[in-house]
Amino acid sequence: MALWKNIFFLLFVFTLVIPLSTHVSEESFHQCVDCNVILISIDTLRADHVSSYGYFRNTTPNIDSFFSNGFFLMNAFSHTPYTSPSHMSLLTSTYPAVHKIRNNDQLSTHRLRGLITLAEVLSDNGYKTAAFTGGGNVAREQGFDRGFQLFHDGCLIDQVDEDGLEPIFSWIDESKNQKFLLFLHTYIPHDPYVPPRKFNIFVDPNYSGSLIKTGEEFQEILQTDNLSNFNGKRKLFWKNMKKTDISDVRHMISLYDGDILYADYKLGMILRYLEENNLVNNSIIILFSDHGEEFMEHGGFLHEKLYDETLHVPLIIKMPHSDGGVITSPAGLIDVSPTILEYLGIPAPNIFQGSSLKPLMESEEGDRIIYSQKTNNQVSIRTPKWKYISLSGDEGLYDLVSDPNETQDVKLQNTGQTTWFRDNLKEFNSINYKLGQNRYNTDINLTNSTIQRLKELGYAS
């Protein structure tokens, strides 16, 4: 294995060992050579609002049923709370500081030079590739079309009209007799939360506040006010929100849960289509989200912070002929593409920073640290016990064992631990900066001094 890949596998790995699975298939694992790959992204879906992740509401019945024998990564995290960089991290297996894609970016001709997407790797290995995304921050303008022979960003899944799924079904019909990569993405749970009446079942019928109560009501106001752009819709949706009113907060959560239920319904149609066309037993099917959503856990809404409610995401991997399992070891979205390639028996590009999850799925012991960022100066590092957040020099340290909701900053009581995180973060940022600059060269090599420094820190042998 290339030195660069080894270094990033070892980088920030603790020697702590925790049980990894409460239920893992007893049959021996194998490669899934020439298997199809299906990626399903539900934008803005926090893990703790998925019913199979323990949520008290039945928000995801179709997902739960279809993935009942999948591998549930219970502690999977995004590397940023933003849509574009999060998806790019998954597809290129690089951190945001390396790929440099940001929300609302317009792609320059050299932006992705030196990076290799999962779609490009599979296309080069004979796969037919297609993506159907919600556009916006997952559009060709950010470079998401790289490697996809068909790239459609017309919000097909998000359309109220169920006929919108027909282009997806048609592509599956045309492609099912050859190996393929299919990437699906929906914004349905993203704000404004306006589920159709059929799925708006979680709101309190006695709610008497001034917030939008149904999707139909919202659409009527939009037509009356002649609002069509996203920012106008968002402003209208949130304008009467009272942060201090617990009934308003609960109402927003209920609308959000209704949207999750609606997304589950639309995706359920696609999942059933895969079953009806006998594609389940020769496909690796992965469901994930790019980030979560805040509901006043830390004083706000949406997804602007680096706390777990915005970074903890569902990640479920369904393998052919496997009973699946529940994996509690930490994982990051940059680990998804290396996992796929290892099962397919295709070498991962040296620039990939993630590590395959296959060892965890085979019950091997191990841990990894999760690195996330908003900008280069706003970052977090998460271990099973600690969460360190640095916001332009303002630090916070949280003991996740005694304070899983990240409410008590204990950096002053744990100065040694804080220093450790601070120093390691500097090294990590430095390495990512160098890789981000040097990736414009096709051959990426570490200098001897960098390798020696990694050895001194214990990240390389």
Per-residue pLDDT, 458 = 32
Name the residue with higher pLDDT: 264 or 450. Answer: 264
Q: Where in the chain is the domain with CATH 3.30.1120.10?
A: 376-461
Taken in order 260, 261, 262, 268, is the CA torsion positive or negative? positive
Q: Where in the chain is the domain with CATH 3.40.720.10?
A: 21-366
- Give per-residue pLDDT as tens, 72-118: 999 999 999 999 999 999 999 999 999 988 776 655 445 678 899 99
State mean pLDDT over 414-442.
Answer: 85
Per-residue pLDDT, 12 = 31
Q: Of the CATH numbers 1.10.760.10, 3.40.190.10, 3.30.565.10, 3.40.720.10, which one belongs to the domain with range 21-366?
A: 3.40.720.10
What fold does the segment set 376-461 form as a domain?
Answer: Arylsulfatase, C-terminal domain (3.30.1120)
Question: Residue 233's CB: how many other CB atoms inside 10 A?
Answer: 18
- Above 80 in pLDDT, residue 393? yes
Question: What's the CA gap between 158 and 162, in Å, rounded?
Answer: 9
Question: What's the CA gap between 133 and 246, in Å, rounded?
Answer: 35
Q: How confident is the model at residue 391 (pLDDT cuts 50, 70, 90)?
A: very high
DSSP-derived 3-state class of residue 17: coil
Per-residue pLDDT, 104 = 64
Per-residue pLDDT, 300 = 96
Q: Which helix (H) or strand (E) holds 171?
A: helix 166-175
Tokens 């903890």 correspond to what residue? 312
Q: How confident is the model at residue 3 (pLDDT cuts 50, 70, 90)?
A: very low
Q: State how far the alpha carbon of 319 is from the alpha carbons of 30, 271, 314, in Å.
A: 10, 14, 16
User: What is the model's pTM?
Assistant: 0.89
- Give per-residue pLDDT as tens, 197-245: 999 999 999 999 999 998 888 988 888 877 778 888 899 999 999 999 9
Per-residue pLDDT, 110 = 56
